[in-house]
Structure 1
Amino acid sequence: MIELVRTNDAVVISFVEALMRDAGIACMVADQNMSVMDGSLGILPRRILVDSEQADEARRILADAGIAHEIRDA
């Protein structure tokens, strides 16, 4: 799996998850439970991971949705 997005913006995370779900691309949000460490302040970013074989398609979907600036460099 590769890191597609890293953010602490819950709206972006939800949006990316919905886009991936609609496209049939499995994704995983890593570091969700790190809020215990930061006192639930949302300081620590969460990572959205996708299978490396679907990474190009996932990047294209995010670009088409207008959030290409959120994509982590490969």
Structure 2
Amino acid sequence: MRELLRTNDPTVIAFSTALLRAEDIDCFVLDVHMSVLEGSIGLLPRRVMVAEPDLFRARAILRDNDVGEYLSE
């Protein structure tokens, strides 16, 4: 699995995962339950992970839908 994006914005996570799943790209969101440690203030970013073979296509999909600013390098 490779990191596709990292953000604190839950709407970006939801939109990105919906776009990827619509294109049959499996994705997994990490750090979802970190709010227990941080006190629910949204300080720690969440990461969206995809399989290595899907990374190029997933990045293209997110760029085409104006989510490119959140992509990991």
Alignment gaps of 5+ in structure 2 = none
Displacement of 1:66 in angstroms is: 1.1
Aligned to 1:57: 57
Partner secondary structure for residue 47 of structure 1: strand
Aligned to 2:9: 9
CA RMSD in angstroms, aligned pairs only: 0.5
Displacement of 1:63 in angstroms is: 0.6
Aligned to 2:72: 72
Aligned to 1:27: 27
Deviations 1:12-71 (A, max 9, x none): 000001001101000000000100011011110000000010000000000100111111
Contact 2:35 2:41 in 1 (8 A): yes
* Identity across the alignment (%): 45
Partner secondary structure for residue 3 of structure 1: strand
TM-score, normalised relative to structure 1: 0.96
Paired positions, count: 73
Moved over 4 A (4+): none
Aligned to 1:38: 38
Aligned to 2:47: 47
TM-score, normalised relative to structure 2: 0.97
